[in-house]
Amino acid sequence: MEKKATQTLEEEHHIIQTVVGAMAALAENMDKGMAPEADTLRNLAEFMQVFADKCHHGKEEKILFPLLEAKGVPVNGCPLGILIHEHQSGRKLVAELAEAVEVYEKDSLKGHELLCASMRGLVNLYPNHIWKEDYLLFPMTDKILNEKEQQELIKRFELVEKDIGLDVHRRFEQLAATLAEKYR
């Protein structure tokens, strides 16, 4: 049996979870007074903005959710409405994280609080969001879509990857591994 589109999204979840785990450890270290390098923080913010939000949430929100909606899944309420709302909350927190990194580079003391707040918000949001998708959304999707529709979805996801750049995807995978290695 060929790989399902939902499996590729689940694999991306593992990569995102790795980074969110590193972010939790980083926030804890910062609570103890550690001052991380701006470079690490910039990479972290870029990963969350590009890999997690633009690429991964983009595939879900612009491709998968509309397809499910067309198949009769209500867009309001559970599960799609809730997931879309969480994507919006995540997007706001990620924008705050990127801003906090900029502040931190100019004034580490002022940036410290902002960084911790946005990272904690993301650490609270993401694991539960991913759980809902892995255990509710994807099993539901696998029930609704047939083999051919899953394969069509994969092709559309590949176009998103191409658009962002395959080397970019690989670079972020490497970055996730490096962050996990550094903060675990």
**Residue 2: which region, alpha, beta or left (left: phi > 0; alpha: psi -120 to 50)?**
beta
Q: Which token pair is 19?
A: 């980074």
102: Cα within 13 Å, side-chain hemisphere: 7
- Residues from 14 through 73 that contact Fe ion (CB under 5 A): 60
Binding mask 77-116 for Fe ion (x = CB under 5 A): ----------------------------------------
Specify the 3-state DSSP secondary structure of 184.
coil
The distance of closest approach from Cβ of residue 144 to Fe ion in the complex, given in angstroms and rounded to an integer, is: 17
| Choices 32-40, 98-106, 126-134, 151-159; region in contact with Fe ion by CB under 5 A | 126-134
| Window contacting Fe ion (CB under 5 A); options: 93-101, 105-113, 128-136, 168-176 | 128-136
Q: Which of 115, 133, 153, 183 binds Fe ion (CB under 5 A)?
A: 133
DSSP type of residue 57: I
Query: Which phi and psi (to 5°) does residue 33 adopt?
Result: 105, 0
Whole-number minimum distance, CB 159 to Fe ion, in Å? 18
CB of 102 to Fe ion, least distance (A): 26
d(C-alpha 147, C-alpha 3), whole Å: 9
The residues binding Fe ion (CB under 5 A) are 60, 133
